[in-house]
Structure 1
Amino acid sequence: MGALMRDHDWSATSLGPQERWPPSLVTLIRVMLNSRQPMFIAWGTDRTLVYNGTYVPMLGARHPAALGRPFFEVWPEVRDEVGALMDRVFAGDPVHMDDLQLTLHRNGYPEEAHFAFSYTPVPGDDASIIGLFCACTETTRQILAERRAASERQRQQALLQQMPGFVAVLRDPGHIFEYVNDAYITVAGQRDYLGRTVREVFPELADQGFYEILDQVYSTAEAFAARTLPIRLAGEDRERYLDFLYQPVRDEAGAVTGIFVGGYEVTEQVRSRAALEESEGRYRTLFEAIDVGFCIIEMKFDAANQAIDYRILEANPAFERQTGANVVGGWVSEFAPNLEQHWFDRYGRVALTGEPIHFENSAEVFGRWFDVRALRVGDPAARRVAVFFSDISERKRMEEALRILNTTLEQQVVERTTERNLLATIVEKTDVMVMAVDLGFNILAINKANVDEFDRVYGIRPKVGENILDLLADRPEHQAQVRAGWSRGLAGEEVTIIEDYGDPERARPSYEINYRTLHDDQGEVTGCYQFVTDVTERLRAQAELVQAQEALRQSQKMEAVGQLTGGLAHDFNNLLAGISGSLELMHTRMQQGRLTDVDRYMTAAQGAAKRAAALTHRLLAFSRRQTLDPKPIDVNRLIAGMQELIQRTVGPAIAVETVGFSGLWPALVDPSQLENALLNLCINARDAMPDGGRITIETANKWLDARAARQHDMPEGQYLSLCVTDTGTGMTPDVIAKAFDPFFTTKPIGEGTGLGLSMIYGFAKQSGGQVRIYSEVANGTTVCIYLPRHYGETEDEEQPARQAALSRAEQGETVLVVDDEPTVRMLVTDILEDLGYTAIEAADSAAGLKVMQSDVRIDLLVTDVGLPGGMNGRQMADAGRERRPGLKVLFITGYAENAAVGNGHLAPGMAVLTKPFAVDVMAARIRAMIEAP
């Protein structure tokens, strides 16, 4: 470039010959030529261009003609952008820019170019600016590369933004948020993410394990994936569930620089599955209770895909009632070898095609008619069919009689045949109520049974030709009910309903009503007929059966209570001796003035009183009557609470040992029923060891695989076992086979109901578990109750509230105390007066009600439940509230809490405190009730 400059004719330029160049220009040219950075000089008023060799690539095809020419003759296209900048420099103001974008035509076409440069003014001898010196760098490639990279990042982020799942990108070991998509914000909420660490954004995850997983992925470079992982975010009272992936992000050298986070929220799916399981449980209960027969069958086909047999996999109790057979697990060919082929064909078609069917047909082998609905269930390859059916034999017999009567009516009228009389007699004499109406609700036919029943429940005797709705015109609610039933039949719906009909002042029985449509010869609907059966007694019998079962359960429980009385009487005598003796010694020492031993006797009396209270509370809780109330419980804790009761029941000749498994799973059962079952097993064990022995109560966690589940006749899964083992006489195989049968007992007459093991079996099955007996004659017996594992936490035991400092009454606050026991009344009154309350005493309900009906101030009523004076405590409180609405009432009682108020329901502003009670508990409860709104 230096040679090119020396050979250039500078005399034709504004610079003139080289020998006349000023020293400053010569110096700058030397500096420029010896530099590797692109540089140029713009000199003089026309800003003549001089440049070095590394500037040449920027000129492109304009070199070498650009040398010595005015700057804007070389670069005319940049005059607007660069001209103003050069004017500033020639005015003495240096200019620096990191990025100047220009459009250049240096290679014959316009192209985008970027430069970083510094314009430095060059002063002359008179200090005026005579030139411009520029050191520059073309950054076009760098800028365009960065732009492409940014565009690629934007494209990738746009793709991530469109993903249906949540996405985040974390960098550095501190897991700093670099990017989150909208789906991530939708899941986690609006927060300040970018530039902050996960720990800063989500402090609530400190104890949930997510920080540790992120640290592990970053340090080990191994991805982590999880499904349905629970997470609890701030401000949320329920857990969510996530499917997610932590994937390490590496640089070009393979080092981990961050973590890619992606996944989906599956909370609704998890909750839906839980709801589905709950729904399935409800439907299972429904199918166990309904009168409609239900079963699931597995079809068998030959090589030609012809259905040849099926097996009953599952059936509800109504199945046996409807068919008269208990055949779960058996093949039809085994118990009904002559069953018609059409049953196999129909069920086989459902299993193969998945198309549900509804039909009515007879089964000669059972001698019955059935109304059947069938649909495929489960995996089609399993070829299983769910079948719902009802025994319609009686209805079919009646329909056949009516069909014969209907089809031969004209012939019967003409010929007056014996057959007509016979059929008419059948319809007229049967107990089944029959009626037919036309489309206008006019009666076409009605038998005597129906007329008599209509008269009994409505006081009306309908006749053929009358309108059934007009007969009930003055009773609109009954008319609407009758219209609704008949309208379904007249609309073509063949349906069976069970419903109450009739005037309650006369009679309102329950009926099973079958509606069937009447058609003419062309198939058009002309009316409807019904068969009606009074099922009041049947429904009452079913209700009485439920009550009888509950009575049997309570009887069995009370038998166990009877076993406790001897031991309890002995223990109470010991406790009462401790209480009375301590009180006498306290009295003696106080008379003697020796107060040092009083505290010791007082502590002994209080301890004995508390143990007596614990015994009565346990006995009351055990003997109360209730239905199953399942709760999550710790079985080990329940056993520990009963150990003293069990030891007293079995007596001192028998040692009781408990072996509780550490880490025992919770169970979802009724604790009262489980206590009942455990106590009865221990009583049975005691009776098997008349000469004494050992009872071992043991718990364990059990995982039953498919094989073990089949052996135990239970579903596969996780269970906990509660086993009671004795060293007694044992059982023979015959006795074991009958042990769970109701009323079966090996005890002498009058010494046992035979209900113990049968009730335990029913409780275990109803709780989703099983009971099994393992026994050898002369070597003892083990009875194990298996209960399904509960996936959740157990309930904490209630801890009685205590207050270090008892709150005192406010001025004028008054409490009415009603109790027929002077000692209790005195105790409560002293507590109230010590705390500053005004106490009013009454010894019976009549006196208490008289006070409440006066004008005296009463802030709280404290009353026993069992009172003399014609009313109990609840009745007295209700009567008092008629005069004082909203009066707050605290019942104190020695009975179990759910028996304290009659029906077990307390009105708002009422509470129960059981005797005996601690002074601070009584005081705290009184203060809390008075202050409550």
Structure 2
Amino acid sequence: MADLFPFLPPGGETSAEIRARDWSATSLGPSEHWPQALRNALSLMLAYPTAMFLAWGPDLLCFYNDAYRPILGYRLDTALGRPFREVWASIWGDIGPLVDATLVGESQTLTDVMLDLSRTGQPERSWWSFTYSPVRDDAGSVAGLFCVTAETTDRVLGEARLRESEDHFRHTVELNPQVPWTCDPSGNITSYSKRWLELTGQASGEPDGAGWAKALHPEDVPWTMTVFAASLSSGEPVDVDYRIRVAATGEYRWMRARARPRRDGTGAILRWYGVVEDVHDRKLAEARLREVNETLERRVEAALAQRKLWADVFETTDALVAALDPDYRLLAVNRAYADEFEDIYGVRPEVGDGLLDLLASNPEHRDAARAVWSRALAGEEFTAIGEFGDPTRRRPSYELKFTALRGPSGERVGAFQYAQNITGRLRDQERLARAEEALRHAQKMEAVGQLTGGVAHDFNNLLTIIRSSVEFLRRPNLAEERRTRYLEAVSDTVDRAARLTSQLLAFARRQPLKPEVFDLRERLRGVADMLNAVTGVRIRLAVEVPDGSCHVRADPGQFETALINLAVNARDAMDGEGRLTLRLVCGGPLPSIRGHAGAPGPFTAVSVSDEGAGIPPGVLDRIFEPFFTTKETGKGTGLGLSQVIGFAKQSGGDVEVASEVGRGTTFTMYLPHVDPPAGANDAGSPGAEAEDDERGLCVLVVEDNLDVGRFCTQLLEDLGHGTVWAHNAEAALAEVERTPSRFDAVFSDVVMPGIGGVALAQRLRTNHPGLPVILTTGYSDALARDDAHGFELVRKPYSAEQVARALRGVVARHRHASA
């Protein structure tokens, strides 16, 4: 049976539903009567992965692609071919004006619009970004509308949560009882929270520099400044206690100041970040606890007096304090500890109770308590981190200090625990981690600046040669010998600029690759003669390859470039004399390299070993950085190894380096191992080019850059070909559809506004499979991620010979395929 819908792409649920429906009863009539504009629109929409719908005709009958189906929800079963207004009657008040404006020829673009689609039949809040575009019929009149849409609910709600979080953070900082502060590397205070001014009564700006010290107790100033100066000099963290006069009461309270430095990539201190916290109560409690311990050592027999003294002291602090005897019975417990224990376990501990008995209903916590207290009762003094509080809420974190209790003769009579709330300190550490992340970002930006500077330096050098040569070529009386010399200088410099760009893209893993499956054994043997020419006669080259095939899928040109870069570095490391060994190992795993996880493989390993000076450990971590080189000025760009690792990474592998100063270096390039191709090409198949076919072709040039377009059409005409120039892919498609048999080939740029070159080529391959397409680009992210999509690729900057060779090749292959 004849296909009534040849214009629909194969596959897809919606495409199948359109084919299965009888359209003769609708206003559109049978599909064979559908206008070409509707067919083209449906073909485009159904093949596109983004959610789209099409409303066509006087009734705006609804069509959509598979990606749009989930948006319809419960409407999906009845939406196809139904008037658009009926499908979305629930939101017509919101979208009706947009539809009306689109139908008079005005495109509409809306971002983050809240619509209640009620996809499950229940009201919902969702946000959408979409465009409405008019669709014209074969006569050029608006016959419907086309919508591309995407749900943005998650992003809208996420941004709202982020704003709320940031507002919450600002309020938290201002309400924090601690005092965040910063100072420069010389110790001059540069910022602080308002809490410091409230505590000390100092005016805004007064604490700047060293003014903060005026709020300290005079006796504490010398010691504090000595500690502060020592930390500034050594770079060690600041941790010092001092007293400040509290403006509200006039009394002095103990404070603890702590700070850590933030450093740049060289280790130099950029700024200090610190916090001041009130430790007055803790200081007093610790002093009294020391007194208690001394008293207990003298009066361990007087248990009642001991417990009374402990209770008096422990109730002066908010810390959780308890003491146990060797049998895990409570010698003392303060109110804070008892309250927290009761909140968690439902029982209030009393002096004389057995701690393990109190925890009998919670075996997990009982075992944990036994483990930690047994260490303390054995005489060990240590610090641990734990959480106390209601497990259903966010619990504060405590620093637990355990100390042994001793009798008058030094014997152990028990142990006590002092738990201090350090939730604020941990939050400070989180803020410090965020600051360190900001530092790492700044370091990345610095690396980008270094890369930009290196690119600018090298390209300016190349442009200087080109500009000077062009100026001399403009002289009317220039001798032919010198004219030839300047033309060769321009040509050579363009090649060097192209290589520089290729190396940069290789490092960034963004170069367009042309991968092939080839045998590394044959490739290594074939490249040996070329390496002999590169390294010189004093370098002894040895090639070690295994028996059997060893295939990879990679760009052979970039592979050979990587080998040459490694060989040149090896030659320079050996000062032009020594043994250079190429070794191939197949089928092994990929080891862990520079902190990256390995892989089981199989992988091929191509190693290049020299007997040179080796790489110092301090340099080894930087050798793959672009523009980093240890060679003399003018002896290297610093991009060779960047190309090697970029090519390996982009091809699915990696590069490992092993070096010993004075003994040599081995670079090992890992590439994924693949099966050999199913069979060789037929002996009678023509080559990639047909050198004897020099007839003039009609070439459709697609290029949006006016200068490049004029140059390209002139180049093709000079080669004897006829040209038609389209400034974008849309115009090119119109030219082809107007007279499909007119063109012998299409030569298209990849990066263009609107439809890109890859999409154009894919559409032409679908609609006009007999029309050869050649793509050209200086850089395209699409090609870097997915090869050349099966199309011939000519990289910019290109020469006339490269274009001519590419045209001959694709035309010959298409003729052979047709035959």
Higher relative contact order (CA 8 A, sep 6+): 2
Whichever of the two has the greater Rg, that structure is: 1
TM-score computed with the length of structure 2 as normaliser: 0.29
What TM-score, normalized to structure 1?
0.26
